[in-house]
Structure 1
């Protein structure tokens, strides 16, 4: 595998709800693995890999093009090159509300294939209704061993769905869109990817790619007090 170089680009803006947002696009360079793109990371899929996302991940030495979302797990669901785009939403200018990761096939024109969101459970609605999750009608419950919380997974006959796990004021959501050539078992892969992220969403561990815990990111930073010369 060639050496990879990460370049991060930040963009500041606001969404329709007035939340501050920062977009971070990851560009990975590697002659035989990645195609350079201005606003995304392009990674080749491995057609020989078994298409089951693991329910746990080893963070050390692994790549996270979007903070907290393991590339290796996402890559198991694709046979073709994919792009990652990260967005951070703030409830105050310096306090994170949630982090979003959008994954698309490189040849899809930016259409969502896999969408991941995690952070504080919003006061104004359910995470499924307040994010870009694919809405699906058939619901089942799931649990995460050793983690206190509640999980639901919704699926649709056309192939889309969403899994969300809520724990102690936080949530992690994984959604797959239909007709985007996402490989593997829909339900298992959504649940397993969400489960694998609970150590930093629910357990207080450092978020891979951010080097801070979710609680630290959510906490408003102290404002400096102007001083007057005597």
Structure 2
């Protein structure tokens, strides 16, 4: 009897393990890696950017003193993602424009007809616009339309190989969606420790 119970338990465990590898719609789902879920900047997980820059990028979180602006600069270090990069920036729109160039106002503004507009499902406040370069690099921006006049700018640059089957504009817009809740002040910035990490904007 003990042998039968043991065998049954083994079969059930195996079935549960196999079932756990598939999503409800039949697709295969990868188990989340603890390393991939680590925060590499305040508000930015490695898993958010690893498809562009690989699993071991060089990261430089920058809080600019004296202005409400934060930047997370991420450069690929893996050979398979060589030359790829991501830059995620948020803060007050005036500080964003003075630090990066006028993506919100002026001649380079993405919101005055030169950009492609986009929205975020379930979000009524704010508006987005992106470049349409049809190349390896694209920029997406989001205007929070809040009382502090905050905004987000994300730059994505793919390496030559990945640019064949990825769209950097899609990657940039997805990253805007990811950071928007805390970049626009709706939620606390994840992994932000004032005594350890640079200020993420405000």
Q: TM-score range by the shorter chain?
A: 0.5 to 0.7
CA 1:180/1:166 → structure 2, altered by over 3 Å: closer, same or farther? farther
More helix by share: 2
Query: Does 2:147 match 1:171?
Result: no
Task: Note the aligned Cα RMSD (angstroms).
Answer: 3.6
For 1:64, the equivalent position in structure 2 comes to 39
- Specify the SS of the correspondent of 2:39: coil
Q: Give the alignment partner of residue 76 of structure 2, picking from 105, 108, 128.
A: 105
Q: Give the alignment partner of residue 94 of structure 2, picking from 119, 122, 125.
A: 122
- Specify the SS of the correspondent of 1:117: strand
1:126 Cα deviation after fit: 6.8
Query: Does 2:177 match 1:188?
Result: no
CA distance in 2, matches of 1:85, 1:216: 12
- Specify the SS of the correspondent of 1:192: helix
More strand by share: 1
Q: What CA deviation, in whole Å up to 9, does each residue of 1:27-79 have, x standing for no partner?
A: xxxxxxxxxxxxxxxxxxxxxx99xxxxxxxxxx9421111112111012245
CA distance in 1, matches of 2:45, 2:75: 15
Structure 2: unaligned runs, 5 residues or longer: 1-28, 31-35
Normalising by structure 1, what TM-score? 0.53
Normalising by structure 2, what TM-score? 0.60
Runs of 4+ more than 2 Å apart = 76-81, 123-128, 135-139, 177-185, 215-218
Q: Assess if the C-alpha contact under 8 Å between 2:88 and 2:155 holds in 1.
A: yes
Structure 1: unaligned runs, 5 residues or longer: 1-48, 51-60, 219-230
1:157 Cα deviation after fit: 2.9
Q: Assess if the C-alpha contact under 8 Å between 2:53 and 2:77 holds in 1.
A: no
- Give aligned pairs, total: 150
